[in-house]
């Protein structure tokens, strides 16, 4: 039947499930933790037990409590960085697509230069200037990722602007703002959303890397990267301290990547009756 609804792709379901688990853990951490992060009453490097489900670190702090707060920080940095990358990237990309040819070429060359640098390296440079903090890490990662979104927005926008329905809209007297809001943005949105979902996973890895290097959120914040750094010296005697945050990072990154792949499959324009849609 032509009106039959398409079922969500399996990767989309898996991605939603994995991401939802981390979201729930982060939400619970806002209201309840097994132990305060400053509580060092537990024995040093204790194994999992009824009192400490994941054990304790070398200072006697509960690992489960740190893991829960780490989920909140990872999601906060990821969401904030994606919001910054989306805002800057879409504005720059649209501006380049709508500008004169020489301005567009200048923007394109500048974006290629920025993209050539790894996200983590650019983030480290920004954090080194601003100082280590949760906001600095979020802003640095978002700024580094914005170039990718800007280039994608520019390419997609230029493609839409060449379509016949945009030419018809211009002929009918639709102003530039109307063309952007009614035709360009609705048609590029699915691809941009998928790319932002992928960038979220990159942001999580970048935040963990910065925290591992001591450039992330400072103590008493507990981040997964810092947990890995603190556990590296005791990984043989107390492996849970390294395994737990490692699994958490993998689960969240895989979750958002599966989510992005599922969204790409679900919104694949080749499965529609027509390519670009005019709204």
Distance of alpha carbon 120 from the chain centroid: 13
Q: What angle do CA 202, 204, 206 make, to 5 degrees?
A: 70
Long-range contacts, stretch 132-135, CB < 8 angstroms, 24+ apart: 132/210, 132/214, 132/215, 132/216, 132/217, 132/218, 133/217, 133/218, 134/73, 134/76, 134/77, 134/216, 134/217, 134/221
- CB 143 within 8 Å of CB 122: yes
What pLDDT is attached to residue 269? 52
Q: Report pLDDT for 2.
A: 43
Q: Residue 41 above 60 pLDDT?
A: yes
Q: Which architecture characterizes domain 10-30+63-271 according to CATH? A: Orthogonal Bundle (1.10)
Mean pLDDT computed over 169-198? 83
**pLDDT reported for residue 52:** 87
Q: Is the pLDDT of residue 107 over 60?
A: yes
- CB–CB of 141/203 below 8 Å? yes
Residue 114 has pLDDT above 60, yes or no: yes
Identify the bridge partners of residue 56 per DSSP, sorted by sequence position. Answer: 62
pLDDT value at residue 275: 42
Q: Is the pLDDT at 115 greater than 80, yes or no? A: no
Residue 59 sits at φ, ψ, to 5 deg, of -100, 0
Domain ranges for the chain, please list them.
10-30+63-271
Helices marked H in the chain: 10-29, 63-98, 101-116, 119-130, 134-161, 164-171, 176-179, 185-212, 224-231, 240-266
Distance CA 123, CA 181 (A): 32
Local structure of 223: helix, strand or coil: coil
By residue count, the chain amounts to 279
Q: What is the DSSP letter of 32?
A: -
Note the pLDDT of residue 8.
Answer: 60
Single out the residue of 128, 88, 87, 130 nearest to residue 110, CA to CA: 88
Select from 40, 39, 46 the least CA-distant residue to 60. 40
Q: Is 272 helix (H, G, I), strand (E, B) or coil?
A: coil
The pLDDT tens digits for 195-244 are 898 899 999 998 898 888 888 777 777 889 989 988 888 888 888 988 99
d(CA 71, CA 270): 36
- Residue pLDDT, tens place only, 11-21: 888 888 999 99
Rg (alpha carbons) of the chain, rounded to whole number: 22
Highest mean pLDDT among 98-112, 223-237, 262-276: 223-237
């Amino acid at each position: 039947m032509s009106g039959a609804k398409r079922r969500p792709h399996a990767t989309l379901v898996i991605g939603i499930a994995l991401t939802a688990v981390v979201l729930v853990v982060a939400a619970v951490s806002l209201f309840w933790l097994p132990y305060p992060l400053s509580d060092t009453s537990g024995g040093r490097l204790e194994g999992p037990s009824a009192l400490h489900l994941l054990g304790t670190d070398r200072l006697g702090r509960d690992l489960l409590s740190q893991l829960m707060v780490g989920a909140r920080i990872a999601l906060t940095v990821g969401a904030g960085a994606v919001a910054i990358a989306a805002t800057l990237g879409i504005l720059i990309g649209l501006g380049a697509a709508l500008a004169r040819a020489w301005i567009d070429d200048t923007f394109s060359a500048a974006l290629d230069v920025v993209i050539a640098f790894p996200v983590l390296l650019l983030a480290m440079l920004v954090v080194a200037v601003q100082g280590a903090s949760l906001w600095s890490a979020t802003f640095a990662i978002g700024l580094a990722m914005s170039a990718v979104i800007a280039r994608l927005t520019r390419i997609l926008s230029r493609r839409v602007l060449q379509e016949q329905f945009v030419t018809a809209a211009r002929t009918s007297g639709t102003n530039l703002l109307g063309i952007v809001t009614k035709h360009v943005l609705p048609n590029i949105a699915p691809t941009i959303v998928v790319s932002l979902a992928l960038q979220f996973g990159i942001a999580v890895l970048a935040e963990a890397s910065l925290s591992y290097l001591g450039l992330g959120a400072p103590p008493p914040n507990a981040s997964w990267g810092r947990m890995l750094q603190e556990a590296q010296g005791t990984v043989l005697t107390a492996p849970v301290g390294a395994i737990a945050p490692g699994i958490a990072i993998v689960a969240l990154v895989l979750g958002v990547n599966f989510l992005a792949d599922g969204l790409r499959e679900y919104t694949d324009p080749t499965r529609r009756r027509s390519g670009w849609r005019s709204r």
